[in-house]
Amino acid sequence: MLDRQTNYGQFSGQEEDAGKNGNSRALYDAFHKDFQPRVGLAWQPDVLHKHLVFRGSYTISSYLEGTGTNLRLPLNPPLQTEFAALYNTPQYSLPGTTLDQGLSGLNPKDPFKGATIRLWDPHVRPAQSQQWSGSTEYEFPGHNVVTANYVGQRGTHLMVAMPYFQNLLVNGKVVPGPYLSGNPSLKSSIAQISGTASVGNQSYNALQLSSRKRFGMGFEYHISFTYQHGISDSIGYYGQGGQAGSQSAYWQNLYNQASERGPTYFDDKFVFVPSIVYETPFGRGRKFGSNWNRGVDSILGGWQLGVVYTAHTGFPLTIKMSGDPSGTGARSFRANVVGTPHDPHQYGPGALYLDPGPYAQPTAFTFGNAGVGVVRGPGLNQLNVSLSKQFHITESKYFSLRGDAYSLTNTPAYLSPASQTITSPLFGQIRSAQGERNLQVAAKFYF
């Protein structure tokens, strides 16, 4: 079936059915200004034996972000009704329905009563990402190449989950919000408004330094260092996990977008990744032991070592609280900062990674003043090693034996605190980790 979705006028609250009364089938405006240029340049000056190269690029990309599947317009009443019936609580006398009624017996008579309205901004449009870079690369003797690269990005019109049911807070008093206000009957019946609008912003800047040598004479290496910073006013629809601990997908104050600006939840400022591949010079066809017999060579010759070390600083953490002191019907809540934190950075149940002292609950009819991503979680240190060797039967037939050790030192990768909510007894405790040592051996036969 076609066109089974409904939107509502953002302020009028009037029902807008797809493909009817002049409404588009999508129920948001068409966008016809998509422009996606690509520009790149490279210059190799005739100096320094042409070992120096400059490169630059600029691009605009456009894409329509996905949104939460539970926030789509086909879920709106009256075409779609959400309902639940509980038969395990005292206030229900059994049977509430009979089998011959099927599910229809559970369906409420008024599809708007207690419903969640999905409200899309009619000006929803594709996100736009501008990206640019400039790099300098120089080749030193021995085929060692050093690169310095600047990378920048600016994203606009990113999708944001909007708490449109939230009221205004004016001079310490709660004032009804403007969304769906033109239809008071509808607004008084429903329980929530989950909105979608393409109003988010994001920026990213990074300095990337690297040195590398391609495989030759039995040796290869690559060393990279990145200093980066990302800023945004929304985490988008898909959230975070692991070592990150961001703010809610919904803004604390719908009417103050600027207060949501802070580090992106994936913002790790420093990243250092060196790696090497080393082929030992012992064995047949190599510098030492080229005349070894097959037995000696099978034990001592032809080994190859690979090492990758990864280190990065911690991700941002946002300090939260439970409840709605503002009284506006907010869907996310941040704490007040009342002092300077002295985080002990201890690990394990009962131990505090974050200092709870500098945080407090906001007073009535106020929002928490804690910013987004004001503290940092644990970083990461991981060493991965591989050792491999080929056992030749003939020139073209051989066994390959490889052993890998992931997190060789068994250094824990601590996750974000069990809770960043100041009213929780688990606030600031890091009680879980991942990245335990993992060993594996693989053998292959080539023929």
Got the DSSP string for 293-353? -HHHHHHHSSEEEEEEEEEEPPPEE--B-SS-TT-S--S--BPEE-S--------STT--S
Q: How far apart are CA 5 and CA 15, in angstroms?
A: 11
> What residues contact 304, with CB distance under 8 A and at least 6 apart?
277, 278, 279, 280, 387, 388, 389
The tokens describing 387, both together, are: 């050792």
CB 314 within 8 A of CB 379: yes
Q: What are phi and psi of 130, to 5 degrees?
A: -95, 130
Q: What's the mean pLDDT when you consider all of the chain?
A: 90
Cα–Cα distance, 33 to 393 (Å, whole number): 64
| Per-position b or e across 79-104, b if 16+ CB within 10 A of its CB | bbbeeeeeeeeeeeeeeeeeeeeeee
Please count the other Cβ atoms lying within 10 Å of the Cβ belonging to residue 197.
Answer: 22
Read off the pTM: 0.86
Q: Is the pLDDT of residue 204 over 70?
A: yes
Higher confidence at residue 65 or residue 334? 334
Could you tell me which of 204, 201, 209 has the C-alpha nearest to residue 234? 201
Domain ranges across the chain = 54-62+122-446
Which is nearest to 125 in space by CA: 25, 200, 18? 200
Does 385 have pLDDT greater than 70? yes
Six-digit token pair at 160? 């944001």
Instruction: Please report, in angstroms and rounded to a whole number, the separation of the first and last CA atoms in the chain.
Output: 56
Tokens found for residue 120: 């899309």
Say if residues 119 and 8 touch (Cβ distance below 8 Å): yes
The yes-or-no verdict on residue 236 having pLDDT over 90 is no
Residues linked to residue 406 through DSSP beta bridges, in sequence order: 438
In sequence order, what are the beta bridge partners of 222? Answer: 212, 275
Task: Give me the amino acid identity at 259.
Answer: S
d(CA 432, CA 127): 36
Over the Cα atoms of the chain, what is R_g? Answer: 30
Look at the alpha carbons of 324, 325, 329, 330 in this order and tell me if their dihedral is positive or negative.
negative
Q: Which two tokens stand for residue 284?
A: 């047949």
Please report the pLDDT score of residue 92 as a whole number.
61
Question: Sign of the C-alpha dihedral, residues 94, 96, 98, 102?
Answer: negative
Tell me: the pLDDT tens digits for 153-203?
A: 999 999 999 999 999 999 999 999 999 999 999 999 999 999 999 999 999
Residue 318, pLDDT above cutoff 80: yes
What is the model's pLDDT at position 346? Answer: 94
CA distances from 168 to 181, 217, 366, 400 (A): 13, 69, 11, 68
User: Does 85 have pLDDT greater than 90?
Assistant: no
Residues of the chain above pLDDT 70, percent: 94
pLDDT score of 103: 65
Q: Is the pLDDT of residue 89 over 90?
A: no
Taking the mean position of all CA atoms in its chain, how far away is CA 345?
A: 24
Residue 235 above 70 pLDDT?
A: yes
Helix (H) or strand (E) holding 261: none
For residue 18, give the nearest of 10, 8, 6 by alpha carbon. 6
How far apart (Å, rounded) are the C-alpha atoms in residues 194 and 163? 6
Residue 73 sits at φ, ψ, to 5 deg, of -65, -30
Provide the CA 379 distance to its chain's centre, in angstroms.
16
Cα gap 76→116, rounded to integer Å? 8
Cα of 292 vs its chain's centroid, Å: 54
Buried b (16+ CB within 10 A) or exposed e, 388-423: bbbebeeeeebeeebebbbbbeeebbbbbbbbbbbe
Taking the C-alpha atoms of residue 261 and residue 233, their distance in angstroms, rounded to an integer, is 4
